[in-house]
Amino acid sequence: MCDIKSSCDKDVILNILSVLTDLLSLGTGRRIHYVISKGGSEALLQALATAARTEPLDHSTLLPLLRLLARVGQRDRKFGLKVQKAEATDIILSLTRRNLDHHLPLTHCLWVLRVCASNVTTGTMLGINGAMELLFKVITPYSKRHVRTVRAAIGALAALLKSRSNSRRAVNRGYLGGLLRLYQDWHHHDVSNNYIYIRRGLLLCLKYITNIQLGRETFLGSKGMEILFTSVQDCLSCKNLDPIITTATQILRKCYPKEHLPVVTVRSSYSFPLPGNAKAEPQCEGSEGDYESDGEEEAEKDLDNEDGESKEEDYDLETDVNKLRSRPVLDRPEEDLGQYEAMCPELSLNFQELELESEEEKSLKDRTENLPSAPFHFIPSATSAKHPNCRWRNQSVTEMGPDPEEQDFKVPLQSWRKKKECRWDQNDEKKDIAEAAQDTDSCENEDAARSRVLELRPLPKDAAWYKKLFYPHCEASIDPSPGGRLESSDTVRNLLEKHQEDVLFHSPHLYTARAKCVKSIPGYRDLAFPDFWGHQPPPHSKPMLERKQGVQREKVLDDVRRLIQPGDVIGRTVFDLDEPSSRSSPAQAPGCLTFFSKFESGNLRKAIQVREFEYDLIMNADVNSNQHHQWFYFEVRDMKLAVPYRFNIINCEKFNSQFNYGMQPVMYSVKEALQGRARWIRAGHDICYYKNHYHCRAAAAGGMRGKFYYTLTFSIKFPHKDDVCYLAYHYPYTYSTMMSHLDILEQNRNPKKVYWRQQTLCQTLGGNPCPLLTITAMPESKKGDDLEQFCNRPYVFLTARVHPGESNASWVMKGTLEFLVSSDPIADLLRKCFIFKIVPMLNPDGVINGNYRCSLSGDDLNRQWLTPNSQLHPTIYHAKGLLYYLRSIGRAPLVFCDYHGHSQKKNVFLYGCSIKETLWQAGCMVDTAVITEDVGYRTLPKILDKVAPAFVMNSCSFLVEKSRESTARVVVWKEMGVLRSYTMESTYCSCSHGLYKGLQLGTQELEEMGSKFCLGLLILHLKSVPCSKEVMAQAALLLDLEEEITDRAQRRCSNSSLESDDEPPCVEDIDYNTDSISDCEEDFSELDQEIQESLSWVEGEREDEGVTTGKTCSSRALKGLYISNQPAPNSTALPLGSTALGLYNGFKSSPV
Ligand SMILES: [Zn+2]
């Protein structure tokens, strides 16, 4: 290395260069890095300076030197600096200039130029000194002569244009238009696609130049969109051209003019006046202005992610040991806790003085007499469902025999209908106003006029279609007018009588009764059919959708086509929540779909027909907010048969989605339901989720930075013509659905065994009761011991649905509740072990009004647990109050769990809290002597991993993040001292492991998770709480734990355990953002290959140019020399036999 710097002897230099070249070409990058670490770059630069001074230029030294510089330089991160230090920019530029007419050395200079320019400062300096002008001379006008040189020049130009100042200079000199024309020339002339690298190189130049706003504007002004779009169309049919299409598409996306969403304001259409002056005025929508600057391409982060997400960001971890330590404090006066005593009636009940049965029956009667009674439902327990690991349960049931009491209680299925009508009639007469007023769950004090207007959404138009199917004998009862809507209550009643059996565990009567009491901001008058009629899970789970190759590209190009060919865009608003008049007569828009969403949990704001069968949809923001769009639920009707309709939800906010990884939205067809298939199913194809060109000003977004939007696009072929269908993000589960399910559970439980108490935790801001349930086993007897056991059972506290868009959490909760109330012997045992306190819906208002994340106050309620406001966050305030109360009487729960849904991950998993794991993860020194921690928080997830097919321990985390300090999990852990305080996250999509791998989860699997959670609690109890012999014996009978565990472990082993949490690779590179940096141009191999390819050409041209090679040691000869000096590759190891023998002998002979 020293030699090459100092030596003036040409032969010495040549030989050194040859050796270096061969050394580096044989090895991998490691050798080059070694050379760099030994000052190789500096030495080569100095040699270059020396060589450039030689007059005339000696190409035999220069060329290998330049090649080496290019290869070494591109791997040297500080090469740019070294070039500046060596003042080599001028040398390289002047060498380039001097060789303009000698293509071989010119090409070599261009490679080095390109490598130098990879440092922005050096690139800028080169730009100032006229490098781009030089390069433009080389690449224009279009010519196929000297393509290697052109290629090298384009590579260098692209590198230079990474500098913003170079880009600005290039635009000002009109190079952008020149590049576009050149690109067109190459595109047109390269018919047989021999010069893909040149075409892509030009696109890269355009890509960098359009990183600045001036570039984008000039690009648009030069018809860049049209030119690239047209050229991409020509390329689509040829698969080799993917690199061109990808880069062109990136440019098109980036340059697509930014627009605001086509809504008057991004604030929610609904607002809710908050009590007092509780909240600052909502941010106004800042003035029109330059919302875009050159600096906007900051890396984007999903700021609004789920609980526990982005935990990989270690700086978010709480490292203050004092903060991590449990410190019981009260956020309210202690005397305020007294009110919660009433929420624990189980602790004050004196069963000895009461006739057990009559008390319970009276309670049941009080509670339900003013509601229609439900049909008898066998309360299913999801553990009894289809899964193989449930076999043991059925066996044990038969062993134990049926419960005699249970049979007494069961009402024959056939008799329910008559009974119902009778009870329904009695309803009005038997009102006990006083009781009703006391019972806040009752609807009796509701405004009667409002109740009356609630109607089921009109059924499908073509009456004849189902008249024939369902009413062959009673056509008279049906509206005879053709096409007339069947909405009379008679029709509905007829339908119900005929088809209610289709849906188990649901009662439209109860649903309607409950829905009438609901207080919503829009004042809903309609019942969505699926919620009314019910959902019965399909018999089979659906596999994840395979992503179609190139689907994102196709959709993005469709979007670009709208801009370039606006002629075929209809652009008609067909539904507008803000201006209901425009959603008027379908006559205005013949052949157009009719949309609707003004029902519980519905949230469509606007629908715009784009093309005949394509609609842009905008979701409403959360009430009192201007964001949180992800959830959707709406009705669509008047569809044609066998036509794929495309829907684009254009204001999604999350930066990635499981919709890119096999998830489908859900659809419900009324006609299917009426034919006995009442169910939400996964539907839709051509699904993808990507960043679009809509944008929200920072001021309007209420944040520091402007917001970008994402499009979820999917196509659906509806199963019937003129049907009424519903589409949703995930299986809807409304507040009224929950309330009516609670009614059914209460009416159908066995009161002799199941202690059930439904109270109201509090009224929500919107005036809806938030139910609180207490479930446990009735005491065995009225004997003192049994009553004591009853009162002393440990508590389990469960909550769900604090985030309204996470309807999966409600389905899991449904599974939990049904299991807890069921006659399953395990449930029986579980009830004897615990008292369950359950708040099944912490955010009723959000669910009712179609929010995704917040409550009516516009707050994320799962960020309010630290200091909940009794006015603004009543459900959190009182749930926390009840927990405080339990702690104050020494009965803090054994387990707390808040059920959530996770939109970006697969599997079901828990987030828990651990001081040690947090400190370890954060890299803090942990003094284990000082911090002792019970590792009991890991037991439950470990059990669930074994018993619940959807649950995956590997996805769990026990880190405490600063950003989560106000979530239920962390607050209950810290302030209540609950070791086992969890968030349970359920995927919307699928599992990466186990039984459900590759299948999209349905409600059945979610409910099963809820019941398996209960089973997990029982096992936890057996493991951690001292149990009576009796309990242990029963448990032993019911749970063959060993068998269960090995069974599950075996199943797990059959699946590869090597899977990671990462998403599987997609067929198509998913590019969510327009400013992707995932280009291959950073790949060293590209330039290496270019240099390598040109070597043969170098040899050839050397002769052409008359450079004699005779004097120098040819590189081939040297290569041979080098190799011959080394031991032959296979001689490094002795023949195996002799080695083994030698070793063996050595062993034998060596002294011990
Ligand atoms: Zn959540």
pLDDT tens digit sequence for 486-499: 445 667 777 777 66
Q: Residue 454: its pLDDT value, please?
A: 79
Distance 659 CA to ligand 1 centre (A): 18
Alpha-helical (H) ranges within 1060-1149 are 1084-1104, 1115-1125, 1136-1149
Distance CA(1006)–CA(811), nearest Å, equals 6
Confidence label for 7 from pLDDT (cuts 50, 70 and 90): low
Question: Average pLDDT of the chain?
Answer: 78
Q: With 90 as the cut, is the pLDDT of residue 933 above it? A: no
- Residue with the larger pLDDT of the pair 35 and 1024: 35
Q: What is the pLDDT of residues 212-258, one digit of tens each?
A: 999 999 999 999 999 999 999 999 988 889 999 999 999 999 999 99
The answer to whether residues 392 and 347 touch, using CB atoms and an 8 Å cutoff, is no
Assigned token pair, 710: 């994402």
Pairwise CA distance, residues 95 & 53, whole Å: 10
Ligand 1 centroid from CA 27, angstroms = 52
- How far, in Å, from the CA of 379 to the mean position of ligand 1? 28
Query: Residue 907 C-alpha to ligand 1 middle, in angstroms?
Result: 14
Q: Is the pLDDT of residue 677 over 60?
A: yes
What separation in Å is there between the alpha carbon of 281 and the centre of ligand 1?
Answer: 26
In the chain, the percentage of residues whose pLDDT exceeds 70 is 72
The token duo for 1068 is 């198509």
Contact in structure between 510 and 372 (CB atoms under 8 Å)? yes
Classify residue 474 by burial, with Cβ atoms within 10 Å: 0-12, 13-18, 19+: exposed
Find out whether 907 and 987 touch, Cβ atoms under 8 Å.
yes
Q: Is the pLDDT of residue 313 over 70?
A: no
Cα(306) to centroid of ligand 1, in Å? 6
Give the distance, in angstroms, between the CA of residue 1019 and the centroid of all CA atoms in the same chain.
Answer: 32
Max mean pLDDT range (131-145, 585-599, 812-826): 812-826
Mean pLDDT score, 43-71: 87
902 CA to centre of ligand 1 in angstroms: 7
- Confidence at residue 31, expressed as pLDDT on a 0 to 100 scale: 82
Residue with tokens 């000297």: 146
Query: Which long-range contacts link 672-675 to residues 24+ away (Cβ below 8 Å)?
Result: 672/719, 672/720, 672/723, 673/502, 673/529, 673/530, 673/533, 674/459, 674/466, 674/469, 674/470, 674/495, 674/499, 675/469
Cα of 307 to ligand 1 centre, how many Å?
6
Note the residue count of the chain. Answer: 1152
Q: Residue 385 is encoded by which pair of tokens?
A: 């469902």
The enclosing H or E element of 417 equals helix 416-429
- Tell me the CA–centroid distance for residue 941 and ligand 1, in Å: 19
- As a whole number of angstroms, the distance between CA 256 and CA 725 comes to 34
Q: Does pLDDT of 599 surpass 90?
A: yes
Higher pLDDT, 846 or 295: 846
What separation in Å is there between the alpha carbon of 734 and the centre of ligand 1? 16
Of these ranges, 363-372, 420-429, 649-658, 877-886, the one predicted with the greatest mean pLDDT is 877-886
Q: How many Å apart are CA 575 and CA 573, to the nearest integer?
A: 6
Tokens of 852: 């995704």
Query: Is the pLDDT score of 291 beyond 50?
Result: no
**Is 1090:151 a contact under the CB 8 Å cutoff?**
yes
Reply yes or no on whether the pLDDT at 412 is more than 60: no
- Residue 781: pLDDT over 50: yes
Nearest residue to 841 (alpha-carbon basis) of 880, 807, 883: 807
What is the model's pLDDT at position 794? Answer: 95
The one-letter amino acid code at 464 reads A
Q: What is the reported pLDDT for 929?
A: 67
Query: Picking from 85-94, 96-105, 305-314, which range would have the lowest pLDDT averaged per residue?
Result: 305-314
In this prediction, residue 378 carries a pLDDT of 52
pLDDT at 1031: 77
Q: Is the model's pLDDT at 898 over the cut of 60?
A: yes
Query: Would you say residue 868 has pLDDT above 90?
Result: yes
CA angle 112, 115, 119 (to 5 degrees): 135
Angle between helices 224-235 and 175-189 (to 10 degrees): 20
pLDDT of residue 1110: 36
Rounded distance from Cα 883 to ligand 1 centre (Å):
20
Q: Among 139-153, 439-453, 724-738, which range has the highest average pLDDT?
A: 724-738
Structure confidence at residue 705 (pLDDT): 59
Going from the Cα of 846 to the center of ligand 1, the distance in angstroms, rounded, reads 13
Instruction: Answer yes or no: is pLDDT of 655 > 80.
Output: yes
- Does 689 score more than 90 pLDDT? yes
Cβ–Cβ under 8 Å, residues 394 and 356: no
Average of per-residue pLDDT across 68-78: 88
- CA 806 to ligand 1 center in whole angstroms: 6
- Place 371 in a pLDDT band, splitting at 50, 70 and 90: low
pLDDT, position 466: 57
Query: If you average pLDDT over residues 705-728, what whole number do you get?
Result: 91
Residue predicted with more confidence, 605 or 467: 605
Residue 309 Cα to ligand 1 midpoint, Å, equals 10
The pLDDT value given to residue 446 = 45
Return all residues near 757 (Cβ < 8 A) that are at least 6 apart. Answer: 345, 346, 363, 773, 774, 775
CA of 723 to the centre of ligand 1 (A): 34
> Cβ distance 225 to 178 under 8 Å?
no
Contact 1074, 691 (CB under 8 A): yes
Q: How far is the CA of 812 from the centre of ligand 1 (A)?
A: 13
Percent composition of the chain: helix, strand, coil (DSSP 3-state, to 5): 50, 10, 40
Q: How far is the CA of 852 from the centre of ligand 1 (A)?
A: 10
Ligand 1 midpoint to CA 318 (Å): 21
pLDDT of residue 775: 97
Give the side-chain half-sphere CA count within 13 A for 495: 28
Please tell me the distance between residue 855's alpha carbon and the centre of ligand 1 in angstroms: 13
Q: What is the distance between the alpha carbons of residues 395 and 404, in angstroms, rounded to a whole number? A: 18
Higher-confidence position of 340 and 549: 340
At residue 614 the predicted structure's pLDDT band, cuts being 50, 70 and 90, is very high
CA 147 to chain centroid: 46
User: What digits encode the pLDDT tens for the residues 524-543?
Assistant: 999 999 999 999 998 888 99
pLDDT of residue 594: 93
Q: In angstroms, what is the span from residue 272 Cα to ligand 1's centroid?
A: 23
Catalytic status, residue 55: no
Measured distance CA(957)–CA(970) in Å, rounded: 13
C-alpha distances in Å from residue 846, one per residue of 11, 236, 597, 634, 863? 82, 45, 15, 16, 15
Quote the strand ranges of 453-592, DSSP E.
455-456, 526-527, 542-543, 572-576
The answer to whether 622 touches 271, Cβ cutoff 8 Å, is: no
pLDDT computed for residue 307 by the predictor: 38
309, 318, 985, 1008: which is the annotated catalytic residue? 985
What does each C-alpha distance from 404 to 361, 634, 782, 815, 1087 come to in angstroms? 19, 47, 20, 25, 82
How far from 993 is each of 616, 1048, 1056, 1057, CA to CA, in Å? 36, 12, 8, 8
Instruction: Give the closest residue to 670 by CA, choosing from 490, 491, 542, 905.
Output: 491
φ, ψ at 800 (rounded to 5°): -155, 165
pLDDT digits (tens, 9 = 90+) for 172-195: 999 999 999 999 999 999 989 999
One-letter amino acid identity for 961? E
The yes-or-no verdict on residue 84 having pLDDT over 50 is: yes
CA of 803 to the centre of ligand 1 (A): 5
Higher pLDDT, 459 or 767: 767
Residue 367 CA to ligand 1 centre (angstroms): 32
CA of 258 to the centre of ligand 1 (A): 31
Res 978 pLDDT > 60: yes
CA 311 – ligand 1 centroid, Å = 15
- Report which of residues 434 and 1070 the model is more confident about: 1070
- Model confidence at 998: pLDDT above 80: yes
The tens digit of pLDDT for each residue in 446-464 reads: 444 444 467 888 888 765 6
User: Model's pTM, two decimal places?
Assistant: 0.80
Task: Give the residue carrying structure tokens 């002294």.
Answer: 1151
- pLDDT of the residue at 1085: 72
What is the bridge-based pairing of β-strands 542-543 and 999-1000? antiparallel
At 617-649, the pLDDT tens digits run 999 998 888 888 889 999 999 999 889 999 999
More confident residue, 318 or 602: 602
Q: What is the pLDDT of residue 943?
A: 94
Position 365, amino acid: K
The rounded Å distance from CA 924 to ligand 1 centre is 29
Choose between 1139 and 512: higher pLDDT: 512
pLDDT classification of 855: cutoffs 50, 70, 90: very high
pLDDT of residue 325: 78
Distance 678 CA to ligand 1 centre (A): 28
Residue 674 and residue 463 in contact, taking contact as beta carbons nearer than 8 Å: no
What is the separation of C-alpha 95 from the centre of its chain, rounded to a whole number of angstroms? Answer: 54
What is the pLDDT, as a whole number, of residue 733?
97
Mean pLDDT score, 293-307: 36
Residue 788 is predicted with a pLDDT of 87
> pLDDT value at position 624?
85
The H-or-E segment that residue 968 falls in is helix 968-975
Indicate the range of 131-135, 471-475, 655-659 predicted with least confidence: 471-475
- Distance (Å, whole) CA 318 – CA 922: 8
